[in-house]
Amino acid sequence: MAVSVVVTSDGKQELAGEMPRSALYNKDLAPTPVRLRGWGLYSFLAFWVGCCVVIPSWSLANVGLVFGFTWWQSLLTLIAGNSIVLIPMLLNSHVGAKYGVPFPVFIRASFGTFGANIAAVLRAIVACGWFGIETWLGGYALYILITIIWPGFKDATTPGTNQYIMFFLFWALNMWNAIIAPPWKGSRAIKAMFDISAPFLIAFSLFLLLYEVFTAPGGLGAILSGHISPDKAMSPDFYWFWLLLNINVGFWATMALNIADVTRFARNQSRQMIGQSIGLVGTMGIFSTLGILVTIGGTLIFPETVKETINQSGTALDVWNPINLFALLSTRLGGILIAVAIIFVALAQLSTNIGANIIAPANDFQNLYPKKLNWVWGVLITGVLGILMQPWYLFFNAMSYAVTWLSGYGGFLGAIGGIMVVDYWILRNRQLKLDDLYRTDGVYNYGNKMGINPWAVVALLVGILPPFVGWLHQIKVYQIANYAGSWLDWLQTGSWFWSFAAAFIAYYILMKTVGARHIAYQTGQEPPPKLAVEPGV
């Protein structure tokens, strides 16, 4: 049966007929049929509430405290960062709701049918890191749960043997759930975990805040003073604000790219945009406010944690990680209550991992070789890379989390996002040829056997390389003389902003000049250039 494109009355597109499995097509990467696009306003609200109410979000809010900012300065910066990243997220979400395609298929238009793998793999590697972090935290939560019940299980060092054991057990649980119940088959189970864990953790955080208001020295007034110590670790100047804003943007820069993986199930454009806007910024604002104030209250109740938190020790007294604070509170609130809370923390990590950190890389890895790789292989590759990235170091303390991780990968993902936005919204005016996204001889092969748009690669490098050099200095791969305060230091500190803007401008200029003939052909303005590929799907 010949494949054709069907356009509905409200502008959504789908394929009629099924292409044979090939180097560009399998059923998991195929456009979502219109009849299965049923996510409405509530679905997107619930999705983002579930994604945001997790330990990394809580800890992100507390990074500002470690940098020396007050709670309200930290919160305003967080809200600003999430509002900024929401813009490219909504722009990139449009294609999912209109065409029903996942992220790695979407970027075939800009990077080429096979060149898309370059961007997809970069995004997938970051997702594997997040999968590892969420899995490490879920395993750490279970480790703390056991130590509350059985103190002898506690390791002498951090991380220790028992922490690794719980990490691998939780890893296996994630793998099992993702394989037997992928989101499109086991959505009820995932939704149930979202629906249960997120409201409980918000309510429990509010309970902790009220408890601290009545028990912490100085009460609410001391908590609202906004400092975890009068001797702050760092001076809250513009440099640290710039870094804090950058990592808050970078936190969801991952989903800003692959949001089409989710919006391909949207019922319509307006509801997915409203649901995402309220769900992301609203939930991050509420949960982060609770997280910041509870952390300050915790340091008032347990003053022995202040030095450890300020100095970023990464030990059990570093309450930048809220699981450590929960463990300390078990001596006051009782082991049973804290144990229940920790169970819900583990559920939140599990549901978020599958919903936000497995879908994207599993799709991306399938895109490498759809003819042989499927969802199961994508999940397994994600899980193995998540271990190899050693998440216990990425989330060791606030500085490694901010500089090594969030600011580090922001310089990669910002560039991809800039290219995607200018390509779809400015150069193509939101018009794609759906069936050609799956054809080796279609319009998106850029006239070469490799199916790569070289100008997208050039723009990507323009965005990535400068902050990448600074990042290599930060992680001590090699040292750059007089780095502090240099232009490389500032570019790395604001890595996402530089890479997004630089790649955006570079790609626009390149595709308006040397790459103009490809855009003209792909948008039907000119006849096809001579293609160096064999016909076929």
> In this structure, is the dihedral angle defined by the CA atoms of residues 396, 399, 403 and 407, taken in order, positive or negative?
positive
Helix (H, G, I), strand (E, B) or coil at 39: strand
Query: Which residue(s) pair with 4 in the sheet?
Result: 16
Residue ranges per domain, the chain? 4-414
pLDDT tens column, 441-469:
899 999 888 899 999 999 999 999 999 99
What is the reported pLDDT for 482?
A: 92
Closest residue by Cα to residue 357 from 258, 442, 425 = 258
The predicted model scores a pTM of 0.90
Quick one: DSSP state of residue 533? S
What is the reported pLDDT for 531?
A: 46
* Contact in structure between 135 and 349 (CB atoms under 8 Å): yes
What is the reported pLDDT for 300?
A: 92
What is the reported pLDDT for 177?
A: 84
pLDDT tens column, 470-496:
999 998 888 899 998 899 999 999 999
What is the reported pLDDT for 181?
A: 67
What is the reported pLDDT for 535?
A: 42
Query: Which residue(s) pair with 14 in the sheet?
Result: 6
Superfamily name and number for 4-414:
Hydantoin permease (1.10.4160.10)
**Two tokens, residue 40:** 């409405």
What is the reported pLDDT for 235?
A: 60
Q: Could you say which residues of the chain have pLDDT below 70? A: 1, 181-195, 226-236, 527-537
DSSP 149-215: H-GGG--SSSS-HHHHHHHHHHHHHHHHHHHHS-TTTSHHHHHHHHHHHHHHHHHHHHHHHHHHHHH
End-to-end Cα distance, the chain:
13
Quick one: DSSP state of residue 36? G
What is the reported pLDDT for 280?
A: 95
Helices 335-352 and 187-215, axial angle in degrees (round to 10): 140
- The pair phi, psi for residue 13, each rounded to 5°, is -120, 150
Quick one: DSSP state of residue 13? E
